[in-house]
A = this chain, B = another copy of it.
């Protein structure tokens, strides 16, 4: 059972990327990550987003995969960690052969840490 738990945790955690890693990657000369805001909401509801994110709602993702680049690594986020939308988007991206992670703690955690956002 201990091994099952360990394997489960390893796979679970391999889906995520934390904000420190993302921030460090974005500050590189060649940014290591492209952030996708996958919230299914109009800009008027969203109001702001992670600085530099591309809005690509999860509901449109399957139809817009050709806008993405297989040489990049994508980081998806939704409003909070409690939703399943980030994982829906992540499954779409991984299934299509993209490198992708879900942002730990989502937008809520990013804002809670007072990390860079921008008005939209």
* A interface, CB within 8 angstroms of B: 1-2, 4-6, 8-16, 18, 80-84, 87-88, 90-91, 94-95, 104-106, 108-109
Given A5-B14, A82-B106, A82-B108, output 17 extra A-B contacts at Cβ < 8 Å. Answer: A1-B14, A4-B11, A5-B11, A5-B15, A6-B95, A9-B91, A9-B94, A12-B87, A18-B84, A80-B81, A81-B81, A81-B82, A81-B83, A82-B82, A82-B109, A83-B104, A84-B104
A10 and B16 alpha carbons, distance in the complex (Å): 16
B80 touches A82 (CB 8 A): yes
Q: Which residues of B contact A106 (CB under 8 A)?
A: 82
Q: Count the copies.
A: 3
10 pairs from A and B in contact (CB 8 Å cutoff): A4-B11, A6-B94, A8-B12, A9-B87, A10-B91, A12-B84, A13-B87, A18-B84, A82-B105, A84-B104
